[in-house]
């Protein structure tokens, strides 16, 4: 796990800051950060994934690769989920602009599971 010592907020802020530099090398760094995270999401707990999703939405990081990997990690997770995490996920995915019927369907089913 390459990300264990980096917080979601710090990583999202680093991606944004690297892109604001306006240099090719900084852009490459931001791409590597996003690709590394996207490749690690399915290995993280659902709660940790939700932190990255929330941070990337808050910082308006719009990389499709990240959002597809995040949707896949959430859809494929069997971790228990709290109502707070569900609300955060719905809000973050909405802010990202991601349109994925299967993802929203799975999240909706999880809402019913939490309510039972």
Q: How do residues 30-75 score in pLDDT, each as one tens digit?
A: 999 999 999 999 999 888 898 998 899 889 898 889 988 988 888 8
* Between 12 and 97, the higher pLDDT residue: 12
pLDDT at 19 over 90: yes
Q: Is 18's pLDDT higher than 80?
A: yes
Q: Which residue has the tokens 């590597």?
A: 32
- Measured between alpha carbons, how far is 35 from 65 in angstroms, rounded to an integer? 7
Which position has the higher pLDDT, 78 or 105?
78
**pLDDT band of 16, cuts 50, 70, 90:** very high
The model's pTM is: 0.79
């Amino acid at each position: 796990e390459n990300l264990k010592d980096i917080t979601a907020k710090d990583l999202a802020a680093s991606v944004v800051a690297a892109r604001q530099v306006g240099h090719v090398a900084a852009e490459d760094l931001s791409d590597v950060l996003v690709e590394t995270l996207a490749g690690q999401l399915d290995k993280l707990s659902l709660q940790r994934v939700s932190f990255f999703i929330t941070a990337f939405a808050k910082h308006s990081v719009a990389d499709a690769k990240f959002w597809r990997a995040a949707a896949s990690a959430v859809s494929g997770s069997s971790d228990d989920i709290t109502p707070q995490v569900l609300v955060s996920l719905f809000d973050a995915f909405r802010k990202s602009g991601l349109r994925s019927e299967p993802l929203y369907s799975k999240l909706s089913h999880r809402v019913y599971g939490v309510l039972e």
